[in-house]
Amino acid sequence: MVKLFGGVALVRPEESSDVEETVRRILKSHPNVKAILRYWGIEGEYRRPRIEVLWGATPDSIVYREYGVEFELDPASLMFCLGNKFERIRTAAMVRSWEVVVDMFAGVGQFSIPIAYHARPKKIHAIEINPDAYGFLVKNIERNRVSEIVVPHLGDCREVAKQIGQVADRVIMGYLHNTVSFLPYALDTLSSAGGIIHLHSLAVRGREGELAAKAISTAERLGYKARLLGQRVIKSYSPSKLHVAIELFAIKQ
């Protein structure tokens, strides 16, 4: 499958191993692309994509537009999942104007900026550990004119959560690898009235329900009452795993 992304074509690993044939086919269908990249997945704490340049020169940055929002980023070194497009706007539609939101894995603003642009909540704390992604997060906040809503934080979300304190009505956890291990820090940011946590993670096919059960048991062990509000499969991640999102309401007991 080929996806166009700000003038760059992204090719999944399962595409033909014949690079010349793949490049020829893409250029025939999309003659104006600037580069063709094969995407091998995300690596490391900074969630950098592993990219192979098949053709062309990768631009230093591109601008990608989605539901009225513009994102600038470096396609060769920063993560931005096109398969989450509907989930981003769906999440924004759930947010209310009086809410304070904490986005624990903000990236270049994938969730924070659509929420700010469409929902106009009271405040969004957008946390990002990767300095390169943080730089684009700041740019995208200005580009979309939401600086009065989105407060960017550079650092580890586990540390920044302590600094922010108990202010959140809603927490976004847009991360896929062992996300439940970060749940205690998300819970620490909830206000005394409790709040909703959007937790994304990978789940083994056929065992998607285990994610919600683990998240609820973790919250309860930490002294919170937790209730599952919803669960969805966002997309296939690999032959054995799915990207799943759950929503929990949690409040300190």
* pLDDT score of 190: 98
Strand partners for 76: none
Closest CA to 132 of 54, 38, 49: 49
Domains and CATH numbers, the chain: 2-59 (3.30.300.110), 82-252 (3.40.50.150)
* pLDDT score of 75: 75
Rounded to two decimals, what is the model's pTM?
Answer: 0.85
Whether 23 shows a pLDDT value over 70: the answer reads yes
> What does pLDDT average to over the chain?
89
* pLDDT score of 160: 97
DSSP 128-185: E--HHHHHHHHHHHHHTT-TTTEEEEES-HHHHHHHH-S-BSEEEE---SSGGGGHHH
- Residue 58 confidence class, pLDDT cut points 50, 70, 90: confident
What average pLDDT does this structure show over 233-241? 87
The rounded percent of the chain whose pLDDT value lies above 90 is 62
- Residue 56 confidence class, pLDDT cut points 50, 70, 90: confident
Whether 113 shows a pLDDT value over 60: the answer reads yes
Contacts of 90 by beta carbon, 8 Å cutoff, 6+ apart: none
Condensed to tens digits (0 to 9), the pLDDT of residues 33-51 reads 888 877 766 666 656 667 7
- Residue 62 confidence class, pLDDT cut points 50, 70, 90: confident
Condensed to tens digits (0 to 9), the pLDDT of residues 157-207 reads 999 999 999 999 999 999 888 899 999 999 999 999 999 999 999 999 999
In angstroms, what CA-CA distances link 180 with 97, 143, 155, 212?
A: 28, 32, 19, 9
Give residue 53's identity as a one-letter amino acid code.
Answer: V
What does the alpha-carbon distance between residue 39 and residue 29 come to, in Å, rounded to a whole number? 19
How crowded is residue 135: how many other Cβ atoms within 10 Å of its Cβ? 18
